[in-house]
Every structure is written in structure tokens, then in C-alpha cells.
Amino acid sequence: MPGSKKYVYDFNEGTAEMKYILGGKGANLAEMTRIGLPVPPGFTISTGACNEYYQTGAFPDGLLQEIDTHREALEQKMGKVLGDPDDPLLVSVRSGAAFSMPGMMDTVLNLGMNDEAIKGLTMQTGDERFAYDSYRRFIQMFGKVVLRIEGGLFEDAINELKEKKGAKLDTDLTADDLKELVQMFKNIVRDHTGREFPTDPKEQLILSVEAVFKSWGNKRAVDYRKLYKIPDDLGTAVNIQTMVFGNKGDDSATGVTFTRDPATGENVPYGDYLINAQGEDVVAGIRVTEPLLNLKVEMPALADELLKNMDILEQHYRDMCDIEFTIEQGKLWMLQTRIGKRTAAAALRIAAEMVEKGLITKKEAVQRIDPEQLDQLLHPQFDPKAKIKVLTKGLNASPGAAVGKVVFDADTAEEMGQNGAKVILTRWETTPDDLHGMVAAQGILTSHGGKTSHAAVVARGMGKPCVCGADAIKIDSKNKVFTVNGVQVREGDIISIDGTTGSVVIGAVELVPPKPTKEFELILGWADEIRTLGVRTNADTPEDSEKGRQFGAEGIGLARTEHMFLGDRLPIVQQMILAKNEDEEKDALTKLLKVQRDDFIGIFKAMDGLPVTIRLLDPPLHEFLPRQIDLKVEITKMEMSGAPEAELAPKKELLDAVERMAEMNPMLGLRGCRLGITHPEIYKMQVRAIMEAACRLKKEGGDPRVEIMIPLVAHVNELDILRKESEEVVAEVIAASGVDVDYKIGTMIEIPRAAVTADEIATVADFFSFGTNDLTQMAFGFSRDDIEAKFLPRYLERKILPSNPFETIDDGVAALVKMGCDKGRATKPDLKLGVCGEHGGDPESVKKFHDIGLTYVSCSPYRVPLARLAAAQAVLGAGSSGSK
Amino acid sequence: MPGSKKYVYDFNEGTAEMKYILGGKGANLAEMTRIGLPVPPGFTISTGACNEYYQTGAFPDGLLQEIDTHREALEQKMGKVLGDPDDPLLVSVRSGAAFSMPGMMDTVLNLGMNDEAIKGLTMQTGDERFAYDSYRRFIQMFGKVVLRIEGGLFEDAINELKEKKGAKLDTDLTADDLKELVQMFKNIVRDHTGREFPTDPKEQLILSVEAVFKSWGNKRAVDYRKLYKIPDDLGTAVNIQTMVFGNKGDDSATGVTFTRDPATGENVPYGDYLINAQGEDVVAGIRVTEPLLNLKVEMPALADELLKNMDILEQHYRDMCDIEFTIEQGKLWMLQTRIGKRTAAAALRIAAEMVEKGLITKKEAVQRIDPEQLDQLLHPQFDPKAKIKVLTKGLNASPGAAVGKVVFDADTAEEMGQNGAKVILTRWETTPDDLHGMVAAQGILTSHGGKTSHAAVVARGMGKPCVCGADAIKIDSKNKVFTVNGVQVREGDIISIDGTTGSVVIGAVELVPPKPTKEFELILGWADEIRTLGVRTNADTPEDSEKGRQFGAEGIGLARTEHMFLGDRLPIVQQMILAKNEDEEKDALTKLLKVQRDDFIGIFKAMDGLPVTIRLLDPPLHEFLPRQIDLKVEITKMEMSGAPEAELAPKKELLDAVERMAEMNPMLGLRGCRLGITHPEIYKMQVRAIMEAACRLKKEGGDPRVEIMIPLVAHVNELDILRKESEEVVAEVIAASGVDVDYKIGTMIEIPRAAVTADEIATVADFFSFGTNDLTQMAFGFSRDDIEAKFLPRYLERKILPSNPFETIDDGVAALVKMGCDKGRATKPDLKLGVCGEHGGDPESVKKFHDIGLTYVSCSPYRVPLARLAAAQAVLGAGSSGSK
């Protein structure tokens, strides 16, 4: 008896909207079937079945019977039966989740082959060699995927046979050779599973379905979902589809194509194909593919039909489609379609051009761009003025440039990346197993594979530069070296790659930020029309301020003054901290006043007419001194080697100071406004520098808009005192300068208590800026310095936290932000409320901040466009639909 | 024109209820006047006038005129005029705030004396010597208090004169001598102020009033208010009262008395007096006083009148009164009364006896006890079994025993106290300037002064042991040594004092905790009937558990398991942390399991039938290893002195481990449940030990009530995982033991995010316990280790925070607790909600927790009685009225 639930859907039962039930692939196969495109018949097992399998560890009741029913119906429709010795049906069994996870899960092709079916296939095709090749491919794939036999064993057998037969290429093997190979493969299966290869196609089918279910939970799929924040409980569907063969001779072919260029967005069909091949050969990049245009020459009628179908699909989906097709002995089959992944530049161009053509609206265009992906447009490029000598060129598979040390395997890439090194992962070709190394790398370089190869697709999704198919590069991964035209490059050597041009260069090329395209400006302009949330930038220098302004920032939300205390100013800062008397301290403060004033003049100039929020000194003073442990060891060494007291004394004095200032938990110690209260002279100097800079510019005709921000306030009294002290200095400076400058004094809300008592704090604040970095640290009790290395990865892996709370604002922390907003506005309805933590540049967080009702977010200059777009999408109420 | 506000009140215009306007002294003088007791006439300048003086820096408009009017009315009533050469009026000018601040502010006596008035006083009293003695006293006091002339100058002049005249005692000086002294004093004033001594009594009066206002802001008064949490903006009133003289001969006297014994509470009049003296002589302990009973012999009629008045006052105030009186030439005057300060034992006895007599209700009795003061009843006493040799005996001025190093001045006491040393402040007599030293000391010992002397009164208020008037002790404070019968005791030598018996002993006497009195049990029993808030104890050992239970704890709210990881267990713990393989780790865990199980057996036994909340391991593991910096220095030294690699290697290995575990901010790092998740074997071992202990006791007929508490939860998922892991172990142990033990699994709410998301956390928690120590740390972003030394004192001084948030729960933190309660109960209406931070033993915090609606508080065993009392007072809705 079948269960009451429906688990299996024929392709003609579904639509594109059913992707949560049928998976993306199944839903789109159904949709293509529905609109009359030539899709090989089949059926889909729902994601619900997979989820029940994970909950109970077994197939749900009734599933087997439903599969059986649909299999029979398929056999009836096709007039063929699985395993039939006369005219056997062969099917593929493919995973297909709601969101594309390319290459992450398992697939079985040619299912239904056995010693009977081979006869039928040979008879039907008249091609014994093809039949045995299909058979051996099936055993190999089934053995690896379903029976979990090490794939290398099959490869070794092929190589052994080729050697024995004196064959160079796989294609040199004859039908008889392949027959022998089938036997060898069967032996491998028997030796490694303890039983004969399963010849019953029904058993093959059920085992394959279960293997696909299982592959939803394999490590690389789990990693992928973590990376792309795809929930674990969606499950995968399984598509059982009649096999068609692109490898039935020279009137057969298989290919992958996009309706537009996914790298540039240009409105031209774009793809690769191989004559006489199976689809896996194209995707895996094993053979060098032909560009789609060549098909017009080789098979003109079929090419026209394909192009017509592509046009139908694009009009139907109103978006660029990614299509797999096969031509079997002169007949075109559409095997799969989905909304195609694209680079950010392509996404923008396609959306803009589709608006122009009236295919979509401006709002849809704005909704379609993935803000995270915009980041790749803002990646640096080779400096055009740099004199570079190109070592070799590959395909420009994912734009942007990168510089890093060459590494030859993913583990090393990850390890070096975690230690802070920038690396270029260099591989013959990447596989899903390399994912963690790609995440860690600055860029990816492969010597093989096309623009639709694994490396290219994944790198584009990640927004990482990628050069692929650079076939002049000969990789010796065992010895960790590659050679190009006699030049050797070893692991650790620095190279530069440019994924926009495909260039590979030895050494570090100077990088420059890219110029945004005209579509970039156009669509962000539309976003600006839509959004209600302001976007400012975090910037500590005139350069960053200008950059942020170029990217559309409407002011500075956070200028950190401590960054101005480093570099050549450090000795002055140390003099101030270590001053033995008031004179020494005053002298240091006077010097700092001068340089800080110049800093502020530059920033105010860059942001003329826009608000500039300057945060007074925040970190603990001991951060400006050497580390206690280093000093102590140095002194111990000096003492033991009998250094004279005259040399030791100043070191010891410094150590004394460092020890006096040492703190158990500096994050929770003497910093922020606590410094302002215990060392009032520092804040007074900073306020003076700010106001002197503003007054000077005002005199010169500028329009500085000053916002002084006092950090780390926990209690209204702290802000009250510091506000009064600041106002005294401000009044002095204004009186002395003779010009009036408007200014505001506000605070960061970054301490939980401040959020809880924001109604009180608002009585003495002109604005709030939520410092969500520290607020996250304190709300969670997480020291970012410690937990990211120690236990956060484990927390993410076990899904204790849905995402890194330092990247995407956590709901609990967001509740504190909301509380702070509501309480602040209860006291002062027109209180300006911003966010200046890193979350201000995270699209998902930006949407939450919009919902909470903040006035603006502030983020690093390069994140400003993302924030503008995300803010618009927040108004439109829908997430991006571009890339998932 | 007088201002519209009224600043001055005649004594017959006020009542006892007006203490916030008239100050305590003024209100009580008015009350005594109202009920017909003989009070020297006068008037009071309101606290409002003082506050306006502080706001504007000047007398408020109209005040001077009001003073003038009342002065004239007083002169009319008395038939005497200030400065009159025939019959001059003399007045005292005394401070008087709403709360008693004994000796903290200034007083001027004999005001109105000048070269004219002296004639009238001489004429009226017929005692020229008395008149000149009054005059010189006035100049001396006015010079010191109002004109700020160093007091020693006047003392030096007296000594110079005595030497010149060959006088031994002050009383040996004749009228002529005193006349000469008056001139010498006038010269001192002229030399040190550049002007003549002000002879106009009206000017004297105004200057004195201003001096009293100013004394509200002097350092010792500010310190005192900080100590007793008296607000700064209450201000002091000023009482101008007709002088009466206890020094007009042997028919005159002055004294201080209590209606009951303030040390024991016994219902007997208790006081001291001096014949022929002014009141200051009694209070300052300069002369050795007579006990009050002697007055019955020396002045029987007056003694009866005094006792009758005392009885009237006690019946009127329904409490023990503290009274100052003066007898002037056979006429009794009541100079002052107030509710008397008392020891905790006395407070309990008085309240209990007044309930017995029907004077007050049980609720009033409960309300009258200051919970903080109860602490002194719980102070240790000399072990009765200790063989002690009493060095000398003084007065048993404040009960309890103390052991510490002798110090001879307040500054040293403070300095040594801050460095963690226990000290006994040993003085000839204390003055208000010694306050900071008394705060720092374990106990106070004086060689002079009675039970109403400064040292005695203040020590009782602080609940510190005090022995005073130990006159066998000869103090040489310059050389920092005292001598008793030839025995020398130097600064730093250890002595023991017993304030209950008055004994002083050389060396450290073993101390034992005291047995509570029967009134203690009685009144706490009443408190238990009233309170609704449960009280548990924090205890990590069977001993502490028993102690807490004795004191009335209804279970354990917090048993910290990490304390069981120290001492002789430390090597095992280190073995566990540093284990190189699973076997080593398992071995350590097995050993720990055994010792932990024994720990829990002891605790469950002590708390049989009551709930025991056990917190799983909380601190970071590196706390159990040596410090990184120490190891690094040690290794550096070994390396430089050429230590063999065999010795170095294990050190380096240890250093590696320590460095791997080092954290920037351990408070926010890998601890609490984060350890439980990353090192599941530790929590599993602990849960096993808890349950094995409970099952064993259950088998033996015991009634263990297990509550397993998981610390530092920030996200419901943490608790969810650890709950499941714990339940697995629990099920195993229960299955293996064959008995069933009820258990609960709950969590601490000590992370702000946990409070904010308590509704989610409650879905998997059987109970919450608010860890208000950590919650305060994270809500404020205050590392307790760092801020208490670095900036908290400054914050308290500047009143940025009203009190130390680690002692009394802060309002913002309390808001988080309330949020956690409300959200937790919204999910589970019957959720048990407790507090186990130190605030659980702070009376003020206990009241807040009652108001928030918690189920129980938990505190250290010795604080349990305080919490019981405070919880009852919270129900009654009023603060203690006992001691302020």
C-alpha cells in the first residue's frame, strides 16, 4: 500500500514554481516539458522523501511502490524496459536540490545496464563498442558513487589495459578491449564489496536513489551549504530520466550553454560542446571543448533549433538561462535548464539590458542583483601603469586580479590562508573536494577546463578571480612546482593572476581598484531611488573618505581616531602615555593636536557638505606599548647576558608601565569613554583638533558637518560628563576662531546596558551609532579575537549558530539594537540612529537594520554599493534571486 | 525683602517628621519642644538653604533677613541679646542632616562672645574664670572651624602658657591666665587671617552658618556619605540654639545617654556624663566619663527627671533613643535626641522586647533591623577552647573578634588593607579624619574614650569589632610602638581583639563563628513568615552546605564544581588538559570522576531533601595551567644558562599548550558551556559523577534533589545540545543503578543575549539561575578584575555610578534580569527563577529581585540571614529604619 503522501512526480506533473518539492532541476525539467521543449521523459522523487529518509534512516512507506509505478509508466511511454535484452531503457539518476549545488552531490548515468541489456543496446545502436563503453562507464560510476569503491582502482584498470593493448587514448580501445574492461570492473566490484555487481536494474535504481539521498549529507555538500547559507533541512530531490547519448557517433554531441555571456553579460549565446561525448566530459573539463558558435558550422539545423529553444527559455524565464543539451544521432534533447550563475558585471548588464528591452522592471532589476556578488566588481585589477611580463594566458574565467603564493593543494591553501598568507590555488583542475582550499585562496589558477568547468563556476560564485585552462602550465604537484616554457614556479613563489584578462604573471603586480561599469551606476541609481535607509562609509583617511564618497556614501559614519595614533605618530603617543610629568604630557598632546587637526582637515575636505562622525579614542592605551611578555623576555635575556644597568633601566621602566596598564580582559577594561573620563586631556585634545579643523575649513568657505562620537558608553552619566567637557572645548575653539560651526555630540551604543537604558542615554545624545561589533561581543560574551579560532567553526559546523554573528547580525543582538532604537526614539523622536559595525556592509544585516528602522548604515568604502543595493531590496521586501 | 521660600523655622514650628527640611537634629529638637521637654530655645535653618548655597555659591535671597528675624525673636524670648555687656545671649551653631553623620561636620559653641559679652557673662555667673574659659574656647573653636586656622597653634599657646605659669592641668590656669590666653588666641587669629577677630556677634553668626554649610562638602563628610550611601544633595540644616553650660561648676554636668544598652540591647538606661564639663568633652573621650548610674547618687532629683524624660522619649518614638543632656546649675536641659545606633544584637533584642511589650508589631520589628548590620552577629569570635593570655582589657565597644597587624595611623591602615593585609587600627582615640583607616581595618583598638566615643560609635555602625579605652596601653605613635606593662608591640606585630569582651591578646587567636542569639532566631522566624522569596546558599563543600542550612538556606543555588578541581586534584586536571592521547585523558577523567562523585555525595548528604544546583565546569582550562609569561621567562633563563634539551623539552611542550590555550579576553573566551561543547567528555564525566552520587544516596534511603546547571549559555542551541548529551548520561547511570532519581537540567542566564532570548532558552530549561556577576560584567562591558582597580573608584567618587554594580544590582542589569524572567515565564509559566550572583546576599538587591518576581536568591552561607530579612522587608515595602 502506498503511503498517503505523494513522493514521486512525472515530469509532466510539475512546474518551475515547485522547486522546494522537486528541486531546481526537477522543477525546471517539468517546466520545459510543460512548455513543449524536447525533454527526455522521466520523473522526480521529492525532497520530502529525502527529508524523511534523514529523519528515519529509511525510505518512507510507499516510496518504493510509487517509484515502481512511475518506472513502469516510463517504460510504457518509452516502449522500452530496463534491462531488456532487445531494446533496453537506460536512465540517469541525478540529485537536484532547491538551490543549485553544482557537483556537490552524486549522479549515476546509464543505469539499467547489465549483461542482458548490453545485447539490446548493441542491437539497437549497431555499435558494440559504444554499448560496452556505456556499460563500463556505468559500472565505474555505480561502483564509485553507490558502492563507495575508490575511483582510482577503475582508472588503474583502464591504464593497465591500455598498456597491455598498446593503446594511447581511451578511444583506441576496441569493443573487445572494453568487454575485457567490463569484466575487470566487475572483478573490482566483487573484490571490494564481497558480492557480485548487482545486475537487477530495479535494485540498481533503488540503490542509486539512496546514494543520491546520502550524498546530500556528504562533507563537501555540507561545506557548500555552510558557505552559501543553504539550510540543511531542504533535502535533495532525485531525477530519474531517460538516457540520451551524445556519444553515439559524430551525429551526436553534448554541451552546456548560456543564453547570454555569463562573464560579461553580453547578449550573445555562450557555451561549449563536444561531439561524440557524454555531458560529464564537458563539465569536468577533461577534453577541450568547442565554442558554441562552431555548432552552427557543424550542425546548422540543430544549432538553429537549440538557439530557438534558448530564446524561448529566456523569454519564458525572463532571465539568462544555463542549459544542458544533448544531440543524439541528429535529435536535440534539452536535458536541464536553470537561471544561470553570472559575474556581478554580467548580472548588472543583463538586468539593465532586460529593463531596456522591457522584459523586466527596474525594481526587478534591483532585486535580481546579489549584493554580495557586487563585491567582485570592486575587486582590484592589475594597475594599467604597471609594466608586467605575462608568463602565460588562460581563460578569463572569473574577473578581478589577485596576488599570492602558489600552492598546489587545497589543504595547504587552507592552512596557509588561516595563517594569514595570501595564496593562489593552482590545480590541473579543481573538484568539489577542493572547495575549502578555494575558499581560503585569493584566486584560482587551473591548467585545464573551460569557462564552465568546476573551477570557473565556483570561483565566479565566490567572486574570486580565476584563470582556467592555462594549458601551457605543466603542474608537478608531487614536487610542488609548475613549469611554463622552461620557467619553474615553486610552492610559496608569488604570482599574480588577472581573471578579467586571463593573464598569469610572476611576482606581485601592483593592483588598483576597478572602475564601475555604466550599468553599475545605472542600477545603483535605481536602488537609491527605492531605498529609505541612508548609507555612509567608515573611513579614517581622506583617501578612504573620497573612495566612499565615489561609491555613493552620504557621509562618514565612523572615523576611528586611533588609526591616526599609529605609524610615525606612535612615538608621540608613547611619550604621552609614559609622560613622567605634566610638561612631557602636554608636549606630546600639543604634537598630537597638530597632526590630528591635519587628519581632520583632510577628512572634512573630502566629505565637504556631508556629515562626518568622528569617534574619540577607543582602544586601551596599552595597545600602543610593546607586549608585556616580549619585554619581559627581552629583559631576562639582557640580564642574563650581563647588560649594564644603564641599558636595562629604561626597559624596566617601560615594563613597569606596561605591567601597570596590563589587563586581564582588555576588551572589558579601561578603554573608550572610560579613558575619556580617567584621562580627560586626551579627549579634550581630540575635540580641540576636530573643532579647529572644522573652524578653519569653515573660514575658507567649506561646509564641515561635525559629529563627535563618544564610544563605549554604558551609563548616561558617562556621556553627560564627557559631553559637558567637550562642549567647553568646543565653545573655546568657536570663540577663538570667530566662525560658528554646527556640531552634534552623540554616542555609540555598543554595550548591552546602553541599549537597555537608551531612553536615559538619549537625553544627552544628539545621535546614536550602534557599534554592532562590540555589541555582538558583549551580548554573546564572545571575544572575537579568541572565539573565531577556538570554537566558532565548531559552532557553525554543528549549526549551533546559523551564521557567524560577526558577519551577519544575530537575532538576539538585533533585538538589542531594536530596543536601543525604540527607547532612544521614545525620548527623542527625531534621534539619528546609525550602525557602524561591520554588519553595516552585510546585505542580510542591512535588511534587518532597515526593518528595525535605523536612519543609516555605515560600512567600509567597498561595501557601500552593496549596502545601497541591499537597502533598496529591503524596501522591495524580497531577497536576491540572482545567484542561488 | 525676604524671599518667597521659608528657610528658617523656630523649634516650636517643626515636628520629627520634618527631618528632610530641618535635619534629624532640628526635627527632633522641634519634636521634643512640641511634647514639652525642656529644650533650650532656638531655630533651624533648613537643608533647602544649604542646597541653594551649593547650587549658587551664595546664601539664598532672604535668608539673612530670616535669620535676623529669628535671632531677634530668640533674643526677645530669652530676654537676652547677643553680645550684650549686661546679660549676653550665647548660642551654639550646629550642623544637622537628615541622616546622622556623627562628627563629620562642624559645630561652633559659645557664639556671641566678645570683649563686651564677657563682662555680662562674668556678671551673670559671678565666675570670671568660667567666662574667660568660655571666651577662649569660643575663639579657639571659631578660629579652627570658621577661620580655618590650624588647631595645633591654639594647643601650643595653651601649653606655652601652662609652662610659663607652672600649671599642670588646664584647670590650674586662673582667670587672669585665661584672660592672657584670650589675648594670645586673638593674636593668633590676627597673625593668620590678617584681620582682627570678628567681634560683631551677628557677623560671627553668619560666618558660622556658612562654615557649617561648607562642612557638608568637606572630604570626611563626603567619604562618610559614600560609605553609607547617603545622597549628596540632601544638604545639612543648621541649628542655632541657646547655649546652656554644663561647665558652670559642680552643680552642672553634661552627658550622653541611651534609653537602652546600645551594645547588648538590654533594657537599662546607659550613658556617660561629666560633672562641670561641656558636651564635647564627653563625646571626644578626652576625660574619662562617669557611668550614668552614678548620677543617681550625685544628683538624684535630676537623675530621676532625666530618666523620666528618657522614658517619655522612648514611648514617644517607640524606639531606643540616643540623648544629649546638660545640667546647668541644677537645671536639666535636653539638648538633642535621635533614634540611637545599636549593634545588631542590640537591635534584635530591643525589637523583640518591644514586640513582647506590645510597643511595636512583629512587622515593625522585622522592618527595623538593618540586614547589612546582621552581618556583625555573624562575625567570628575567639575560639572558647583557645588558650589565650589577655594582654589587657578595654571597653567592649563593638562586638566581634578580629586578628590583624597593628598599625598606628589611618593612611597606613588603608595602604596595607588595600594590599590585602588584615590590620587593627590602634589609636589613642579616633577622630573623623581616621574614617578611611577604620574602613580598611579588621578592628579598632583605642587607649582612650568611652563607649560613646567616636571610635565606638563608628565601629558599631560599621559592624567592626572595637575595643576602646584600653588605658593600660601607652601609644608612641611617632615610633610606631605601644607598650603595655612593659610589653612592647610594634607596627606589623599581630594582635587579636575581642570587641564583645574587651580583650586584647598578642598573636593570632583562633576565631570561631558565633552562635546566633535567641532574638536572632525569633526575628528571622518572623521574617520567614512574611517573605515570599526563597533563600538558598552558594556552597561548594559539605561544610559550607551545612553552614548555609544552619542559617536557614532552603537548598543550594550554586555549587561551583571548578573549586573541586584545585588543590590536590590540580595534577589530575592538568593531566586531563595536556593529555597526548585518549588513554591519558580517559585515565585522568576516571580519577576525576571518583573524586567528584565523593564531593557530590557530601554535598547531597548535607542538603538531603533540599534542591542542590550544581554548575558544570565554568572557567577556561588555561586557568588550571601555569601562566604563559612565567613559563616563557623560565624557559628563556634555562636556555641562556645552557640547560640540557631533556630538561627544556617538557617545559617547552607545556608552554606550547599554554600558548595554544592563551586568550586575549578569557572572560569572553572558551569557557562555560563552550567548553562543554568542545570538550564533551568533561561535562559527561561531571554529569556522571553527580548522578552516581545521587543514585547511591537514594539507594541508601536519602533524598537527593539534583539540579544540573549549564553555565554561560548564549543561544538556545547550546543548551539543547548539552541537555541531550547530559540526559544520555543520566539515563545510563539511572539504568545501571536501578533507582530513579528526579533531576532537573537548567541554565545560568548570565550572558545578555540569553536574557534577551530567554523565551527560546526556556523551551529546553527546567530552571534559570541568573548569574548576576557575569551578567553585570557583560552588560556593562566591565571586567571585574580590571575595573575595580582601574576606574571604578573614580566612577563612584564622581557619582557616575550610584554604587558598585558588583555589590548592588544595577538598574540596567536588573532590567535584563526582569526581561529574562518575563520572557522565560512567557514560555514556561512555572519556570523556577533564581539568582546566584553575589547580589543574592545584598539586601538592596534582594528587594529588587523580590520586585522582579524571582523564585529565590542564593548567597554565601553567612549572607543567608541577611537575605531572609531583606526578602521579608521587600514584602513589607519599606527599607530598614534602624541605623541611618
- State the ipTM, two decimals: 0.78
What distance in Å separates the CA atoms of residue A841 and residue A864, rounded to the nearest whole number?
7
- CA A761, B755, B562: angle at the middle one, nearest 5? 120
Is residue A836 among the annotated active site residues? yes
Chain A positions touching B641 (Cβ under 8 A) are: 640
Chain B positions touching A717 (Cβ under 8 A) are: 798-801
C-alpha cell at B798: 564622581
CB A423 within 8 A of CB A493: no
What distance in Å separates the CA atoms of residue A536 and residue A539, rounded to the nearest whole number?
9
CB A435 within 8 A of CB A414: no
- CA A124, A125, A130: angle at the middle one, nearest 5? 130
CB B852 within 8 A of CB B814: yes
What distance in Å separates the CA atoms of residue A253 and residue A279, rounded to the nearest whole number?
9
Size of interface A-B (CB pairs under 8 A): 202
Residue of A nearest to B667 (CA): A665
Going by C-alpha positions, the residue among B199, B177, B93 that lies closest to residue B133 is B177
Which of A751, A753, A785 shows the shortest C-beta gap to B664?
A: A785
Our CA-based measurement puts residue A199 at a distance from the nearest CA of chain B, in whole angstroms, of 44
Q: Do B670 and A778 count as a contact with CB atoms less than 8 A apart?
A: no
Q: What are phi and psi of A287, to 5 degrees?
A: -110, 155
The pLDDT value given to residue A789: 64
What distance in Å separates the CA atoms of residue A67 and residue A71, rounded to the nearest whole number?
6
> Which among B674, B772, B794 is the top mutation candidate for probing chain A, defined by the most A β-carbons within 10 Å of its own β-carbon?
B674
Q: What are phi and psi of B522, to 5 degrees?
A: -60, -55
User: What pairing do the DSSP bridges indicate for beta strands A481-484 and A487-490?
Assistant: antiparallel
When pLDDT is averaged across residues A270-282 and rounded to a whole number, the result is: 84
Residue of A nearest to B720 (CA): A800
Q: Do A780 and B714 count as a contact with CB atoms less than 8 A apart?
A: yes
- CA A228, A231, A237: angle at the middle one, nearest 5? 100
What distance in Å separates the CA atoms of residue B207 and residue B284, rounded to the nearest whole number?
24
The pLDDT value given to residue A288: 75
pLDDT bucket at A96, cuts 50 / 70 / 90: very high
Helix (H/G/I), strand (E/B), else coil: A391: strand
HSE, side-chain direction, 13 A CA sphere, residue A817:
32
CB B328 within 8 A of CB B298: no
What distance in Å separates the CA atoms of residue A778 and residue A771, rounded to the nearest whole number?
11
What is the DSSP code string of A194-219? SSPPP--HHHHHHHHHHHHHHHTTSH
The pLDDT value given to residue A197: 95
CB A638 within 8 A of CB A648: yes
The pLDDT value given to residue B882: 36
Q: What is the mean pLDDT of chain A?
A: 91
- How large a percentage of chain A has pLDDT more than 70? 98
When pLDDT is averaged across residues A392-413 and rounded to a whole number, the result is: 90
Q: If residue A88 lies in a helix (H) or strand (E), which one and from where to where? A: strand A88-89
Our CA-based measurement puts residue B464 at a distance from the nearest CA of chain A, in whole angstroms, of 33
- CB within 8 A of B411, min separation 6: which ones? B436, B437
The pLDDT value given to residue A283: 65
Average pLDDT, consecutive stretches of 10 residues, N- to C-terminus, chain B (884 residues):
76 93 95 96 96 93 95 95 93 92 87 94 88 93 94 90 87 91 95 93 96 93 83 94 89 94 91 85 72 93 96 96 94 94 90 96 95 78 84 86 94 89 92 83 89 76 83 88 92 93 92 84 96 95 92 96 83 90 93 95 97 95 87 90 90 88 90 94 97 97 97 97 97 95 97 98 98 96 80 86 91 98 97 93 95 95 92 80 36
The alpha helices in B245-299, defined as continuous H runs, are 279-283, 293-298
Chain B positions touching A813 (Cβ under 8 A) are: 753
A197-218, pLDDT tens digit by residue? Answer: 999 999 999 999 999 999 999 9
Chain B positions touching A756 (Cβ under 8 A) are: 779, 812, 815-816, 819
Q: Count the Cβ atoms, other than its own, within 10 Å of residue B515.
A: 9
CB B715 within 8 A of CB B757: yes
Between B247 and A589, the higher pLDDT residue: A589
For every residue of B493-522, which 3-state class applies, written as one string?
A: CEEEEECCCCEEEECCCCEECCCCCHHHHH
Q: Do B786 and A663 count as a contact with CB atoms less than 8 A apart?
A: yes
DSSP-assigned beta bridge partners for residue B859: B537
When pLDDT is averaged across residues A729-758 and rounded to a whole number, the result is: 97
Our CA-based measurement puts residue B66 at a distance from the nearest CA of chain A, in whole angstroms, of 37
- How large a percentage of chain A has pLDDT more than 90? 69
The pLDDT value given to residue A351: 96
A461-520, pLDDT tens digit by residue? Answer: 576 899 988 888 999 888 899 999 889 999 999 999 998 888 999 999 999 877 778 999
Residue of B nearest to A674 (CA): B791
Which of A715, A811, A812 shows the shortest C-beta gap to B800?
A: A715
pLDDT bucket at A341, cuts 50 / 70 / 90: confident
Q: Do B786 and A670 count as a contact with CB atoms less than 8 A apart?
A: yes
The pLDDT value given to residue A797: 79
Q: Is the pLDDT reported for residue A229 higher than 90?
A: no
Residue of A nearest to B819 (CA): A756
The pLDDT value given to residue B789: 64
> Which among A628, A631, A665, A748 is the top mutation candidate for probing chain B, defined by the most B β-carbons within 10 Å of its own β-carbon?
A665
What distance in Å separates the CA atoms of residue A245 and residue A327, rounded to the nearest whole number?
7
Per DSSP, A516 falls in state P
Q: Is the pLDDT reported for residue A2 higher than 60?
A: no
Which of B665, B750, B813 shows the shortest C-beta gap to A666?
A: B665
pLDDT bucket at A861, cuts 50 / 70 / 90: confident
What distance in Å separates the CA atoms of residue A85 and residue A852, rounded to the nearest whole number?
67
Q: Do B637 and A636 count as a contact with CB atoms less than 8 A apart?
A: yes
Our CA-based measurement puts residue A663 at a distance from the nearest CA of chain B, in whole angstroms, of 6
C-alpha cell at B148: 580655618
Q: What are phi and psi of A54, to 5 degrees?
A: -70, -35
Q: What are phi and psi of A483, to 5 degrees?
A: -125, 135
Q: Count the Cβ atoms, other than its own, within 10 Å of residue B855.
A: 20
What distance in Å separates the CA atoms of residue A344 and residue A263, rounded to the nearest whole number?
8
HSE, side-chain direction, 13 A CA sphere, residue A471:
8
Our CA-based measurement puts residue B467 at a distance from the nearest CA of chain A, in whole angstroms, of 39
Q: Is the pLDDT reported for residue A227 higher than 80?
A: no
Is residue A695 among the annotated active site residues? no
CB B291 within 8 A of CB B255: no
Going by C-alpha positions, the residue among B401, B430, B424, B429 that lies closest to residue B490 is B424
For every residue of B29-48, which 3-state class applies, written as one string?
A: HHHHHHCCCCCCCEEEECHH
